[in-house]
Structure 1
Amino acid sequence: MQSEKFEFLREKFPLLSDLGALAEAVIYTDPGSATTRLRSFAEEVVEIYLCNNGFHIFRGDFD
């Protein structure tokens, strides 16, 4: 799914681009789903930040 607001992320962070686009697509019809997608977006941002700053994390750490 493409989004004008999140498409700039696609080249380096395709998952972030997809999550942002999905949240944007349902924000008015299903705010709860949009919130869930944005939570996943935020978790991915934190994981990318930690990995890029020398922290080793396990996928299960965020469950």
Structure 2
Amino acid sequence: MRPEIDGGKLVRFVTSNIVSYGVGKGIESILVPTQVLLALAAAAVGSILTNVVLYSVPQFLAVAINDCVN
């Protein structure tokens, strides 16, 4: 007895796999650049904050020390 292949089921199976693969790839292609952009934005914000802290803390300390001395 040969097993019969249901053409409709086969087409639906293949189509759903192709669609889910395509959707997965589409989501991946959207997410990866987003992650890269977020990482770059975080790095930029981090470096800006670091520069602000490194600049403003010594200024603040200099003013505070100056106030204490005078």
Q: TM-score range by the shorter chain?
A: 0.3 to 0.5
Please report the TM-score for the alignment, with normalisation by the length of structure 1: 0.39
Greater percentage in helix: 2
Please report the TM-score for the alignment, with normalisation by the length of structure 2: 0.36
Larger Rg: 2
Q: 1 or 2 for the larger relative contact order (CA 8 Å, sep ≥6)?
A: 1
